[in-house]
Amino acid sequence: MANIISPQSASTVFTSTGPVSGQLLAAVKYYAYDFWEEVGDHRVSTLPLLNGGPWHVLGLTALYLWFVKIAGPKYMKNRKPYDLRGVMLAHNG
């Protein structure tokens, strides 16, 4: 019966300011940012988009996929295709 949680201790476990949530937030911060700084390659820590873990690159990839799969087709749904022959000739020429 010693392992039963009392109502007072249960309220501190489930509140947003309790000790467990502080430990949880510290663990999330560690694995989301600090872990990548410790284990990652220190040569790239000063490069843009590569410091602080893979979150910047994953966010940009998600934004790209959203645009290509959802926003772009909705934008071009009732439009004629762009004529890019001149741009392609200038690029390849």
pTM: 0.60
Alpha helix locations (H) across 1-93?
Answer: 7-14, 19-29, 35-39, 55-66, 72-75, 85-92
Give pLDDT, residue 28: 87
Q: To 10 degrees, the CA torsion angle through 62, 64, 69, 73?
A: 140
Q: Is residue 43 part of a domain?
A: yes
Parent domain of 26: 7-92
Residue showing tokens 């071009």: 76
Q: Residue 14: pLDDT above 70?
A: no
| Tens digits of residue pLDDT in 20-77 | 788 888 888 888 888 888 888 888 888 888 877 888 889 999 999 999 999 999 999 9
Q: Is residue 1 part of a domain?
A: no
Q: Is residue 2 part of a domain?
A: no
| Of 20, 2, 24, nearest in space to 10 by CA | 20
Number of folded domains that form the chain: 1
